[in-house]
Amino acid sequence: MKALLMAAGLGSRISGQIDGSPKCTIDIGNQALIENTILELKRKGIHEIAMVVGYRAHVITSLLGGENIRFFHNPFYDRTNSIASMWFARDFLTDSDCLLLNADVYFEEQVLDVVLQETRSPVMFADPSRRAEGDYKFGYENGLLQKHGKELPLEETTGEYVGIARLHREFVPIFQERLQSLILQRQHDLWWENVLYSFLGERDVHVAQIPPGLFWAEVDTWEDYKRILHFTNHLAHM
């Protein structure tokens, strides 16, 4: 199992409130968010880890200098979206099952357990408890993704996308080929998840649900960050 973390973006919605720091480096109480993520991955036996960096890359690489992590760089991070970052790391995905994660996602240990127990591929993860307030919304039925988008109407929404996907090694070459095709079409403004969305209508894209009560949050806004701090402070005092 490999893990590829996407950490190249500007994080413009919250950047001004965190002094321009990369979102994955925010302090969550006693460590940076990305340090917690790396710790949880290694605790589960995932030691082959890579990150794609871009915006203020030196901050991330310096923070994780003591970790055995492979870094890829997207020099066009300010003019492209995460699909371009994924393209720069495309060869890392070869010959293994892979986790794809947005590096600004905080999750408690049990969330990763759910991800690693999933046997379907490709599979993305969603939280049905955040159906109404979700940032990026999924509409799925019988465990299969049907619709997606930030503006998806509530009546068509089943859950919020968690920012994590899992690919079996057999699917990885198919994923890489589609990624390459979209880049050659100059679709640089797409998210990496659009590679998976592009398969809708061709093959199944599965959705697994995060069970109620498990905590995760993607740092898009100051409110997201406050939710994480509230959770980690609660853990520290248990």
Q: β-strand 123-127 against 69-73: which pairing, if any?
A: unpaired
Mean pLDDT of 94-101: 95
pLDDT of residue 4: 98
Q: What is the per-residue pLDDT for 12?
A: 67
Q: Please, what is the average pLDDT of the chain? A: 94
d(CA 95, CA 32): 30
Whether residue 125 has pLDDT greater than 90: yes
* Element containing residue 124 per DSSP (H, E): strand 123-127
DSSP string, 149-208: ETT--GGG--EEEEEEEEE-TTTHHHHHHHHHHHHHTT-TTS-THHHHHTTTTTS--EEE
Q: Buried b / exposed e across 197-220, counting CB within 10 Å, b at 16+? A: ebbeeeeebbbbbbeeebbbbbbb
pLDDT for the residue numbered 66:
87
**Mean pLDDT value across residues 187-210:** 97
Q: How is the chain split into domains, by residue range?
A: 2-236
Element (H, E) at 225: helix 222-236
Residue 30 has pLDDT above 90, yes or no: no
Does residue 238 surpass a pLDDT of 80? Answer: no
Q: Which CATH number among 3.40.50.1110, 3.90.550.10, 3.90.1300.10, 3.50.50.60 corresponds to the domain 2-236?
A: 3.90.550.10
Instruction: Read off the DSSP letter of residue 145.
Output: E
pLDDT tens, 150-186? 999 999 999 999 999 999 999 999 999 999 999 999 9
Total-model pTM: 0.95
Residue 57 is predicted with a pLDDT of 95
Task: Read off the pLDDT of residues 41-69 as tens digits, 9 standing for 90 and up.
Answer: 999 999 999 999 999 999 999 999 889 99
